Every structure is written in C-alpha cells, then in structure tokens.
Amino acid sequence: MMTMEPVFAAVIAVVLGGEQLSVAAWLGGFLVVSSMFVAELGPRECCDAVAPRIECC
C-alpha cells in the first residue's frame, strides 16, 4: 500500500517551517514517489507466480 506521508511532511516543512529544499532533495523526492507508483501500479503476474501472497484469515 502506498502512503504519501513523505510528501506531506516535505510540504509542511516548506510551507510552515520555512525549510528550503535543494535541487537534489526535490529530485530525490521525485524518484522516491515515482518508484512507489511504479511498484504499486506495475504488473503483478510474474511476481505472484514466483512469490505468492500470504493471506491471513
């Protein structure tokens, strides 16, 4: 499950805390969020075949 806590933390730090983020920080944040999207939205057939999910009852 994807959470957006790091994004909200960065926005609050900039808006309320007066934090200034460098270009490297923005790029790193973008890479983290985009990799979360790729991991969550990508195909799952091959991964489920190799490591099936364990479901709790």
Eight-class DSSP state of 54: P
The length of the chain, given as a count of residues: 57
| pLDDT average, residue stretch 45-56 | 59
Domain boundaries along the sequence of the chain: 5-50
Among residues 25, 18, 23, 24, which one has the least CA distance to residue 7? Answer: 25
**Tokens 């990508």, located at residue:** 42
Query: 6-22 pLDDT, tens per residue?
Result: 778 888 988 999 888 88
- CA 54, CA 57: separation in Å to the nearest integer? 10
Predicted pLDDT at 44 = 60
